[in-house]
Structure 1
Amino acid sequence: MNPSARSRTATTAPRTQPLGRGRPGRNARRALPVLFAALLPLSACGIPETGVVEAGEPATGVLQPGVTAAPSETAPEPVPLVKVPLYFVTDGALTAVSRTVAGSTDLGSAVLMLFKGPDPQERRSGLTTELPPAAVAPTIRTDGAVVNVQLPRTAGSLSDTAVDQLACTVAVARLRQDPALGSAQVTVEQPGGRLAGRSSDDCPSGAARETTGPPETAETGGTGG
């Protein structure tokens, strides 16, 4: 063979490399991007590739299965019971009644209860009233030991016994508010300007009847200072 031909043959012959050496195969080059893409979300979310990371403090107050938490309850404050003096009528004469109610009372509350008349138990014991039912509460003004009770325009004319009921109830209630007064003077002003004055000294001072029924709730009446 021509030496120049051998030289060209040796130059153009393809070189072969041993298996497993040199550049990676085509499949390996394709697998690397896929692997990087799979690891990227884990790194972006801050999730470690291996191991367990503990964070925060352990939970407290965990109940056992089947056990429920008891609600926090506070004991209600007891409502005070007070006695309200009222004057009704027995056989044409005034009779003092001490009615027990729940909550604090004022002069207006006592007057409203008086105008409602005796309760069923008091009626069974023979108590009546000469005061008519009042749709509007009277206006009450106090100035020390002096109390003025102004009846609404819709109120009719009161009998002397009805005036005594109203004046004595207000007078004794005022002395319950301020025992240091000693006595109280009550003026009842009726529609048309008619005035009637009474003193607590003129009211029956005998022992008041006690009501034994369930205590009622005190109502707020219209009063003026």
Structure 2
Amino acid sequence: MTRPRTALTCCVLALVAAGCGIRPTDVTDGGTAPSGISKGMRIYFASDNGPRGVPRPEVTFDQLDDAFKLLIAGPSPAERADGLTNLLPTDVDFSADAVDGEVTIAAPGYPTGSSQDQATGQLVCTLARAEVLVHGTRPDKVQVIIAGDGERVGPYRCQQFLQR
């Protein structure tokens, strides 16, 4: 090898060894990593992009039926301004029971014909979240059945309504 070629090779190797010029830093603490699902209750309302959950961290309850009160109350004024709405009928007497992660919603008078609509998504996702909080069921194990007007539809999982 000639001297200029040797010098060029040494320069290239020095640059490669130096890296990109960014100096290493000490380890920084980014805080606790998020894990699992969010804490607290989430109520689902209809939006232009399908059901959307809104947090209700201050709400605690020990019965699934309490979730219906939150749904029927509808979104807050700020949530309405953000495009959320409640599509559930307010005149249906909803109730729910759960056995081994399978939630059955009794909804006399509720139209079950269009079972993939946002109103059904509101029910399924809100009651699935309530089941997780009330009975400690794993979110991926919760299934929801809706029984209305002599017809049962489901079982549904919340993810079916959120993947739009």
Do the structures match in fold with TM over 0.5? yes
Pairing partner for 2:144 from 181, 186, 192: 186
2:55 maps to 98
Report whether the alignment pairs 1:145 with 2:101: yes
The structural deviation recorded for 1:130 is 1.5
Tell whether the 8 Å contact from 1:115 to 1:134 is kept in structure 2 after alignment: no
Query: Is contact 1:175-1:182 (8 Å) kept?
Result: no
AA aligned to 2:53 is A
TM superposition shift of 1:172: 1.8
The CA RMSD over aligned residues, in Å, is 2.5
Matched residue of 1:93: which SS?
A: coil
Higher-Rg member (1/2)? 1
Q: Which residue of 2 aligns with 1:38?
A: none
Q: Distance in 2 between matches of 1:179 and 1:189?
A: 21
The one-letter code of the counterpart of 1:198 is Y
Deviation sequence 1:92-121 (CA, Å, 0-9, x none): 511111123355343211122112221222
SS at match of 2:162: coil
SS of aligned partner of 2:129: helix
Aligned residues: 121
**Structure 1, unaligned stretches of length 5 or more?**
1-81, 206-225
**1:198/1:182 Cα in 2 relative to 1: closer, same or farther (>3 Å)?**
closer
Match of 2:83 in 1: 126
Question: Percent identity at matched positions?
Answer: 27
Q: For the residues of structure 1 that align with 2:50 and 2:92, how far apart are their CA atoms?
A: 25
| Aligned pairs for 1:10-159 within 5 A | 83-134=40-91, 136=93, 138-152=94-108, 155-157=109-111, 159=114
Are the structure 2 counterparts of residues 126 and 201 from structure 1 closer, same or farther at C-alpha, using a change threshold of 3 Å? closer
Q: 1:135 to 1:184 in 2, by over 3 A?
A: closer
Go from structure 1 to structure 2 and tell me whether the alpha carbon gap of 1:151 and 1:161 turns closer, same or farther (over 3 Å shift).
same
Quickly say closer, same or farther: Cα 1:102–1:140, change in 2 above 3 A.
Answer: closer
Are residues 202 and 135 of structure 1, via their aligned partners in 2, closer, same or farther at CA, if it must alter by over 3 Å? closer
- Residue identity in the other structure for 1:143: V
Matching residue's letter, 2:101: A
What stretches of structure 2 of length at least 5 have no aligned partner?
1-38
